[in-house]
Amino acid sequence: MQVIPSGAALGAEIQDVELGGVSDLDFSEIHRAWLDHLVLRFRGQRLDVEDLIRFSRRFGELDWAPVQETGRRFVEGHPEIYVVSNVIENGVPIGSLGAGEAVWHTDMSYLENPPKASMLYALEIPPSGGDTYFCNMYRAYESLPDALKRRISNLSLKHDATYNSGGYVRQGLAATDDPISSSGVVHAIVRTHPETGRAALYLGRRRNAYVAGMPLAESETLLDELWSYATHDDIAWSNQWQPGDVVLWDNRCTMHRRDSFDPNTRRILYRTQIKSVSGERM
């Protein structure tokens, strides 16, 4: 097995490993590489659903997939698997997020205890578009001026639950653009990663985000300033998907977004979400 760093601010490719049967020794190297590089790509994998779940579980217990905007929950019989797809069968989307852009976000940060990691496995990929970008939120934090670091050190942020990253309203919630009253949960803006001990910015999503207790206009200005540091090209890396790619990322120190693609082409990926355990919560 080889670990090939991307040369960007995050990301590495792991070569010469079959995720259907990973030894304990290889797993500990993969785990180390994941903490060091934040996002890992494994190409050319041939996994069935059980293999994907088994490999994901090496990192910890799995969360159930969030409910899709259409109300469907998961791959039948596998509540752990979230389907990311624009494909429509018998008039019903088989997955979430459509074919439009998915804006920068961290998965499921609207929960009290968001998953520490997510893993995407590519089944069908369009000929162009749909690239996924990741940014390094340790580096985003480190790039802030000292005065801004001091200003946010004890501040918390409300992470909106209303919209998913494709801009769709989540099942059971009403559309709103009021950051103060929208439903969501509050997390510290600066969090210490429980496994690396490094400080990272934790911003979740921009839409309807709100700095707890601040006048709204002040919160908007502060968030715009923080976001301007978070998504610079020089702290990002992107994956141009191929069928058989598995990409694993750390939600505690990265965000991601996806380019749009031609809605007349097919894109299907399966995603698992790995829970934070209580000792590891931030």
Running DSSP on this structure, what letter comes out for residue 256?
A: E
- Residue 92 forms beta bridges with which residues? 89
Q: Report the length, in residues, of the chain.
A: 282
Contacts of 28 (CB under 8 A, 6+ apart): none
Residue 41 vs 271, nearer CB to ligand SIN: 271
Residue 33 vs 97, nearer CB to ligand SIN: 97
The minimum distance between CB 97 and ligand SIN, in angstroms, equals 6
Residue 257 near residue 104 (C-beta atoms within 8 A): yes
Contacts of 265 (CB under 8 A, 6+ apart): 99, 126, 127, 129
First to last CA, the chain: 31
The minimum distance between CB 84 and ligand SIN, in angstroms, equals 4
Pairing of strands 82-85, 96-97: parallel
Using CB under 6 A, list all residues that contact ligand SIN.
84, 97, 102, 107, 132, 165, 256, 258, 271
Residue 96 vs 208, nearer CB to ligand SIN: 96
Residue 156 vs 265, nearer CB to ligand SIN: 265
The minimum distance between CB 226 and ligand SIN, in angstroms, equals 20
The minimum distance between CB 264 and ligand SIN, in angstroms, equals 17
Residue 246 near residue 97 (C-beta atoms within 8 A): no
Sign of CA dihedral 168, 173, 178, 179: negative
The minimum distance between CB 12 and ligand SIN, in angstroms, equals 18
Q: Name the residue whose CB lies closest to ligand SIN.
A: 132
Residue 144 vs 205, nearer CB to ligand SIN: 205
